[in-house]
Structure 1
Amino acid sequence: MSRADAVSTEVRAGVSLLERAVGYLLGVLPLVTDEELDADTPCRDWDLRLLLAHVQDSLDALNEAVDDGQVTVAPDPGSFAAPDAGAERAAGAVRESCRRLVAAWSRAGGGHEVIDVGGLRLSAAIVTGTGAIELAVHGWDIARACGAGRPLPPVLAEELLELAPLFVHPADRPGRFAPPLPVPEDAGVSERLLGFLGRRS
């Protein structure tokens, strides 16, 4: 296999992982109601309304990556205010961005092998892998805020757990992710992933 073929295979694998993470996120969005928007989430100091705004921001960045081959560095997660929108509008905007994202990355295939993220050149596989972790785990956060038990699919969780130590660095804590939490030795793969990312399932 040539280097170009190997890179293309990595990109397609990253896109596939991103698609499955988006699928999980889409599955929890119907749980969002107006009554839940002020609910606490596993993300410290964020209610559900702010979490949805952050997810929308992440989706915008991923769409920028596939459309333009670059991502403008996002603001600090706590520095933006969530729009005063009802649940239908907020969840609907996330849902539409998810669909646009999957369609755009599927069309692009291996089109962007390298993406400029705030001046840092990263492979498309890293960008899609990081995006998959972000969207899947925040999908779990949304379900938890809505009082629903929606565990991450084991196969998806296992793949994300393999990638998480590569993509989540000490500098990301306590900004993007909380410090890791201990889990029982017999914990399942989803519980271990969530514990690594500072969440107690």
Structure 2
Amino acid sequence: MATKTSELLAAAAPRTVAVVRGIADDQLDLPTPCHDYSVRDLLNHLFQVVVNFQDLAAKRPVEWADKPDHLADGWRDRFEVETDRLVAAWSDPASLEGISTGMGMPQATVGGMALLDLTVHGWDLATATGQAYAPAPEATAALHELVEQLGATARKMGVFAEPVPTDPTVPDLHRLLGVTGRDPAWSAG
């Protein structure tokens, strides 16, 4: 069975998995567009998101304070496996019902947040490591509404930075990045 959320995650996941697979060990200490996050830090964060959002789909509690290092031997393969599990977790229609006990918001919104992290952090990691990144167009389109909905609260909580103005004629991804407080023209140099 599939849900709209799992279909969007399934479209977005391979693109981010490809970026993660393309990260060389000597790139782990590079800066990223996420201030205060190196590539290593952001990979560990994204790993935690992918694992925790599986539990959130099943309405189980999660622990965000623990910051395990997921980058042990075989981490690229494990990231792909965990991402597949994330898609499967959100394939159950029950995953979208009700309010998340772990996040205090509608489950459908929580599922969208997993999609947002996969998409935006996929770009962050690709940009930091000099890789090309093309998001799933259907995911990017769906995320604009979610980011507008979450924007003010996410900025108050420090999840998003202040918006970066973008021209309305730039690609959807660049507008999405701008709303989350990222400069689409960011470079490590």
Q: Which residue of 2 aligns with 1:4?
A: none
Q: Which residue of 2 aligns with 1:166?
A: 149
Counterpart Cα distance in 2 of 1:111 and 1:84: 25
> What amino acid is the match of 2:9?
L
Q: Name the structure 2 match of 1:43.
A: 34
Name the aligned partner's letter for residue 98 of structure 1. T
Alignment map for 1:52-67 (pairs within 5 Å)? 52-67=43-58
Name 1:101's counterpart in structure 2: 86
Q: How far off its partner does 1:109 sit? A: 2.7
* Matched position secondary structure for 1:65: helix
Instruction: Give ranges in structure 2 of 5+ residues lacking alignment.
Output: 185-189
- Closer, same or farther in 2 for the Cα pair 1:23/1:168, shift >3 Å? farther
Deviates more, 1:31-40 or 1:182-191: 182-191
TM-superposition CA deviations, 1:125-184 (whole Å, max 9, x none): 111111111111011111111111313233321221122111333444562222110112
TM-score after normalising by structure 2: 0.83
Identity of aligned residues (%): 29
Quick one: distance in 1 between partners of 2:123 and 2:16?
A: 8
- Picking from 23, 26, 34, the partner of 1:32 is 23
Cα pair 1:179 1:198 within 8 Å, conserved: yes
1:92 to 72, 77, 94: 77
The alignment yields a C-alpha RMSD, in angstroms, of 2.5
- Structure 1 letter corresponding to 2:84: R
Higher helix share: 1
Q: Equivalent residue for 1:6?
A: none
1:3 alignment counterpart: none
| Code of the aligned partner of 1:26 | V
2:113 aligned residue (118, 126, 130)? 130
For residue 83 of structure 1, what is the aligned residue in structure 2?
69
Give, as a single letter, the amino acid of the residue that structure 2 aligns with 1:46: Y
Aligned residues: 183
- Give the counterpart of 1:14 among 5, 9, 22: 5
1:114 aligns with 2:98: yes
Does 2:186 match 1:200?
Answer: no
Q: Secondary structure of 2:94's partner? A: coil
Q: Which has the larger radius of gyration?
A: 1
Alpha carbons of 1:179 and 1:173: their partners in 2 closer, same or farther (altered >3 Å)?
farther
Q: Is the 8 A contact 1:21 1:136 kept in 2?
A: yes
Where in structure 1 are there 5+ consecutive unaligned residues?
Answer: 1-10
